[in-house]
Amino acid sequence: MTSPNSQLDDMRRAIREADPQLSRFDPLPRIICLDDFDRGMCGWTQLVGNYEHSLDAMLPGYAQHSHAMLSTLPNWDFGSHGGVDGSYALKIATRPKTGAQNVAIKRLTFRKAGPIRLETYFTFKPEATELQLSETDIRSFGFLYDLQVGDQHGTGGNRVMPHLRFLNAENGVHLQKWQFKRETTPIKPIGTAGKTMTHYHLAPTDWEDLPGGEQRLCYNEIPTKVNWHYLRFDFDLATMQATRFQVNDRVFDMSTYDCIRIPAMKNLWCMLNIGFFAETDTDKRAFAYLDSVCLSGDF
Amino acid sequence: MLPENLTAIVARNEIWTGESATEPYEAGWAKEAIVFVRALKPPKGKLPKARIEISADGMHWAPEGSEFDLPEAENAVTFQRVAHFGNFLRVAASLPAGAEITVLVSMHFKA
């Protein structure tokens, strides 16, 4: 005889698999958000840097950021590409300068320090300013969490920032591998009130190769075509450890993976921020697109 | 259902001199927009009119026809209403030698 919990799991799975929008994902029991950008920005916004008194105090890495867009992936040669389903995807575009980055962020808090699962369908490409493949023009596409323990955690609690990026190319070399980082830049105070500080966790330094993280992704023969990729990242907020990382048909070994860990800050308890980013390797805009994002938890 | 409505900051604390423009903003979903320009610092020199430009692909731009004043004092605001702009939108200005303005440019879209 099956247990009530197992029956509940079976029923939940059957309902989800009957829903085409949910069936594309494999969420944990509680869906925190299912962001389909056919419904607008769904709370994804610009990552603005910290400042006090003057915007001039913002670190240049953040000052370059701009607002994400609702995009049909329009192309000059064949028109709108569209999403996995529906017309729109969230578009993150860098400026046309080598090394430029941009980030889109969603800011949440968590209600149970347990397992969470991030799933998305993504793609990326350079701006099609040249009639050639340009497969090495994107430096990286990636994602991050910005997490902090709850205020009852006690001493030793951390702000934890898991980062993963697909290093597509660097200095024109097509590298195609997943990387992570456990170091951020030194934390700098901003202004005079003693309330604001900053660091640039997306600095180009300190990225480490994920062992076995080489992956050849699908890309097309001209600079305007894209294919959508599935990504899933499992993380446990109780242990603050990654438990699984999958892209398309590949599940990567995360035994050597770690995150940026810094002492908890006095204003960020239970923070659960998610960011996706793009970086360009040439003086040409990099575009990252998210068709949809599903964040789920076990609670 | 309420129509989609979005405020996008497309230039923040950017110093405009010479040929300047905001980054391409894709908003084909929107029927109308208002573009606001605020001067974050006292502008210098003789400011030209700003112009709205539109594009099918974000790379090839055409003047939409609307022109409007840039703000002449710190924290002054100017704006331009735009409709029927198709896909990509930007604000551009050609500043003469010696002119400079530090801008905050926001675009407010409605479907």
- Per residue in A71-110, pLDDT (tens digit) is 999 999 999 999 999 999 999 999 999 999 999 999 999 9
Q: Name the residue in chain A with its Cα closest to that of B9.
A: A67
Q: What are phi and psi of B3, to 5 degrees?
A: -70, 155
Binary contact (A74, B23; C-beta < 8 A): no
Q: What average pLDDT does this structure show over A30-42? A: 96
What Rg value do the Cα atoms of chain B yield, rounded? 14
pLDDT of residue A279: 98
B22 burial level (CB within 10 Å; 0-12, 13-18, 19+): buried
**pLDDT digit string, tens, across residues B55-106:** 999 999 999 999 999 999 999 999 999 999 989 999 999 999 999 999 999 9
Predicted structure pTM score: 0.96
Q: Which residue shows structure tokens 């659960």?
A: A272
Q: Nearest residue of A to residue B110 by CA position?
A: A40
Q: What is the ipTM of this complex?
A: 0.97
pLDDT above 70 (res B21): yes
Domain total of chain B: 1
Task: Give me the CATH number covering residue B22.
Answer: 2.60.120.1310
Chain A residues lying within 8 Å of B103, measured CB to CB: none
Cβ atoms of B43 and B17 within 8 Å: the answer is no
Among A63, A67, A75, whose Cβ lies nearest the Cβ of B8? A67
Tell me, what amino acid is at A133? L
Q: What is the pLDDT of residue A3?
A: 81
The chain-wide mean pLDDT, for chain A, equals: 95
Residues making up chain B, counted from first to last = 111
In the block, residue with structure tokens 């003047």: B63
What is the per-residue DSSP string for A74-137?
EETTTEE---SSSS-EEEEE--SSTT-EEEEEEEEE-SSSSEEEEEEEEEEEE---SSS--TTS
Q: Is the dihedral of CA A288, A234, A47, A42 positive or negative?
A: positive
State what percent of residues in chain B have pLDDT above 70.
100
pLDDT of res. A197: 82
Contacts B87 to A, Cβ<8 Å: 74
User: How confident is the model over A51-62, as pLDDT tens digits?
Assistant: 988 999 899 999
Residues recorded for chain A: 299
The distance of A244 to chain B (nearest Cα, Å) reads 35
Among B10, B27, B87, the residue with its CB nearest the CB of A66 is B10
- CA quadruple A55, A56, A57, A61: dihedral positive or negative? positive
Q: Confidence band (pLDDT; 50, 70, 90) for A16?
A: very high
Q: From the list B13, B23, B29, which residue is nearest A88 (CB)?
A: B29
Beta strands of chain B (E only): which ranges?
5-16, 19-21, 25-26, 32-39, 49-55, 61-69, 77-83, 88-94, 101-110
DSSP β-ladder status, A173-181 and A163-170: antiparallel
Q: Which of B6, B36, B57 to mutate to test the interface with A (most CBs of A within 10 A)?
A: B57
Whether residue A58 and residue B10 make contact (CB cut-off 8 A), yes or no, is no
Which of B4, B29, B55 to mutate against chain A (most A CBs within 10 Å)? B29
In angstroms, the separation between the Cα of residue B9 and the nearest Cα of chain A is 6
Lowest mean pLDDT among A53-67, A244-258, A266-280: A53-67
Mean pLDDT of A10-16: 92
DSSP string, A142-184: EEEEEEE--TTS-TT-EEEE-EEEEEEEETTEEEEEEEEE---
Range of the domain at B69: 5-110
